[in-house]
Amino acid sequence: MEWAIELENVERHYPMGNEVVHALRGINLRMERGSFWAVMGPSGSGKSTLLNILGCLDRPGRGRFLLAGHETGRLPDDALSAMRLKHLGFIFQSFHLIPQLTVAENIALPLHYLGWEAKKSFKRAAELAERVGLGDRLRHRPSELSGGQQQRAAIARALANDPQVLLADEPTGNLDSATGEQIMGLIEELHRQGKTIIMVTHEPNLAARASLRLHLRDGLVESIEGEKA
């Protein structure tokens, strides 16, 4: 079995004045390559905290986290950046496109940091934009796009470095249901193409479309349901 993600007793505490917030209190979890996970749980249960650790934006306070077999716990900041650049793609609830850049430039941003030359990365950005249905919007600014189009541009950007793992924090949270449906369709397609997808969502009907559902409560795994874990 090939694991995209392995967590062993992962804890994360936030000191708040004299008290300590226990955001994650010992998570044990393994996610197979190519699986599609929905992460659910009430507000404050630690979903985003978990996703930040999976996304190498944060390190576990205690325990071990392995991404594609590499332990991240003791890596310096630059190495974490390199992990993100190599293995990960992010899809955010509020799209997070850079407003002064065009759609093509936004999509090509990871390629810029990978050191691709401009011409080649523009070509790839154009291909990706075509793939998400934005082939005719390359030179537009994000502000000239609808919410659904912006999220599709963001997904194209997340795919630019061809990552193994896609992390999505409520990707449809800012979209109406019809547009959200389009985005879900796109995500399902990426899953079919072999990407590992971890999606935080509050909506049970969207979570139902993932192959596995992880329920968090108070920083602990409450349950995992779906095809055998």
Residues 14-53, one symbol each (x = binds another protein by CB under 8 A, - = not), give --------------------------------------x-
- Count of chain residues binding another protein (CB under 8 A): 25
Q: Distance between CA atoms of 181 and 206, rounded to whole angstroms?
A: 9
33 vs 217, which CB is nearer to Mg ion?
A: 217
Residues 30-59, one symbol each (x = binds ligand ATP by CB under 6 A, - = not), give -----------x-xxxxxxx----------
86 binds, among another protein, ligand ATP, Mg ion, none (CB under 5 to 8 A by kind): another protein
40 vs 111, which CB is nearer to Mg ion?
A: 40
Going by their DSSP bridges, the two strands 88-91 and 165-169 should be labelled as parallel
Number of other residues whose CB lies within 10 A of the CB of residue 76: 8
Tell me the torsion sign for CA atoms 164, 169, 172, 175: negative
85 vs 220, which CB is nearer to another protein?
A: 85
Do the beta carbons of residue 159 and residue 128 sit within 8 Å? Answer: yes
Strand order in the sheet with 70-71: 19-32, 3-16, 62-67, 70-71
Do the beta carbons of residue 59 and residue 53 sit within 8 Å? Answer: yes
Q: Could you say which of 85, 133, 182, 188 contacts another protein (CB under 8 A)?
A: 85
CB 17 → Mg ion: shortest distance, Å?
A: 22
As a residue count, the chain comes to 229
Q: Distance between CA atoms of 224 and 136, rounded to whole angstroms?
A: 42
129 vs 206, which CB is nearer to ligand ATP?
A: 206
Which residues ranging from 203 to 222 are in contact with Mg ion (CB under 5 A)?
none
The helix or strand, by DSSP H or E, that contains position 62, with its residue range, turns out to be: strand 62-67
61 vs 226, which CB is nearer to another protein?
A: 61
Rule CB under 5 A: which residues touch Mg ion? 48
Rule CB under 6 A: which residues touch ligand ATP? 14, 16, 21, 23, 41, 43-49
